[in-house]
């Protein structure tokens, strides 16, 4: 991605046979390895800039395209929805990737960096593996849901009923014929980065995903309910940093603040930022990246 040595893009088999695409990016004299857990509809190439920044700061990086998205296998019955029947498939894939290709193969210690859906997955991974990670960073973590028309309790009920009455693979919204134009979205105010990411997703076949399914939504909401309870968060024994976007249109600020508080995490709110903090303008992205690097440095110094 950035000219440094030992870049590997490979495929692995998941526990159920699904083919998952991963990237390993070594770094000369690496101080640690950062395991990036991407959000929904994201892919390795979208993190090229962040991978480059981390490597320049002395960190090797490992990243996995989540099942059903990016260059990972998509089941024919799920189309381009990125559907999962069980949320637990996500952390299981991540731990298999970590144990097979990262731990012992790339320099430790190891940090978790999860964005949005990846933040929820990272919470699950950290809870399942006490003592395994040196630090946890959550960027706009998916720990709640915001909708412009329906309250969260109604969304949860609709998803639960649909997923248990044979409609789990139905889309929650109409399928669009093309990705949103820059002016139609509110996830980032950086036009160049947004258009770069859309162009990178227009592969053959494309990495673009459609709306979520009712089954996916029900599975994720169930995971949110479990993983944000005090007992689950108390099981996470590594230092934590939560980055929140002041203009986040997807994840409610109150839920992110509650999770940060229960984790005992450092909490940084980037007021001008849309949901995609690491895809924002330099005025937002640079302070976020600096906070992440300072956090890693402090974790390493405390060991």
Averaged pLDDT for residues 178-201: 96
| Rounded Cα distance, 97 and 92, in Å | 9
Does pLDDT of 5 surpass 60? no
| Rounded Cα distance, 58 and 298, in Å | 14
Residues in the chain: 303
CB atoms within 10 A of CB 262: 17
Averaged pLDDT for residues 2-23: 88
pLDDT tens track for 134-185: 999 999 999 998 766 667 778 888 888 888 898 888 888 888 878 999 999 9
Which sign, positive or negative, has the C-alpha torsion 63, 65, 70, 71? positive
Say if CB 65 and CB 22 are below 8 A apart.
yes
Averaged pLDDT for residues 91-110: 98
Residue-range domains of the chain with CATH: 7-302 (3.40.50.1820)
The residues, any chain, with a CB within 8 Å of residue 218's CB and separated by 6 or more, are 156, 159, 160, 162, 163, 168
Tell me the whole-structure pTM to 2 decimals. Answer: 0.95
Mean pLDDT of the chain: 94
**Could you tell me whether strands 7-13 and 19-25 are parallel, antiparallel, or unpaired per DSSP bridges?**
antiparallel
């Amino acid at each position: 991605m950035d000219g440094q040595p030992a870049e590997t893009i490979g495929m692995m088999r998941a526990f159920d046979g699904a083919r998952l695409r991963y990237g390993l990016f070594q770094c000369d004299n690496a101080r640690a390895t950062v395991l990036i857990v991407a959000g929904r509809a994201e892919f390795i190439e979208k993190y090229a800039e962040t991978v480059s920044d981390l490597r320049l700061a002395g960190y090797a990086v490992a990243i996995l395209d989540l099942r059903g998205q990016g260059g990972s296998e998509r089941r024919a019955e799920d189309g381009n929805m990125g559907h999962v029947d069980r949320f637990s498939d996500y952390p299981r894939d991540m731990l298999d990737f970590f144990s097979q290709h990262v731990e012992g193969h790339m320099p430790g210690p190891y940090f978790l960096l999860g964005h949005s859906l990846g933040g929820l997955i990272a919470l699950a991974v950290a809870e399942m593996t006490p003592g395994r990670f040196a630090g946890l960073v959550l960027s706009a973590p998916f720990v709640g849901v915001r909708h412009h028309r329906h309250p969260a309790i109604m969304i949860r009920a609709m998803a639960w009923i649909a997923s248990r009455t044979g409609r789990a693979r139905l889309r929650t919204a109409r399928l669009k014929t093309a990705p949103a134009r820059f002016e139609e979205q509110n996830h980032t105010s950086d036009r160049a980065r947004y258009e770069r990411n859309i162009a990178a997703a227009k592969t053959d076949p494309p990495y673009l995903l459609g709306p979520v399914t009712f089954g996916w939504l029900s599975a994720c909401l169930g995971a949110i309910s479990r993983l944000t309870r005090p007992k689950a968060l108390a099981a996470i024994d590594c230092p934590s940093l939560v980055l929140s976007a002041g203009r986040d249109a997807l994840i409610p600020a109150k839920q992110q603040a509650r999770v940060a508080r229960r984790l005992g995490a450092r909490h940084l709110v980037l007021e001008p930022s849309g949901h995609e903090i690491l895809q924002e303008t330099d005025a937002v992205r640079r302070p976020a990246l600096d906070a992440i690097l300072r956090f890693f440095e402090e974790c390493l110094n405390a060991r």
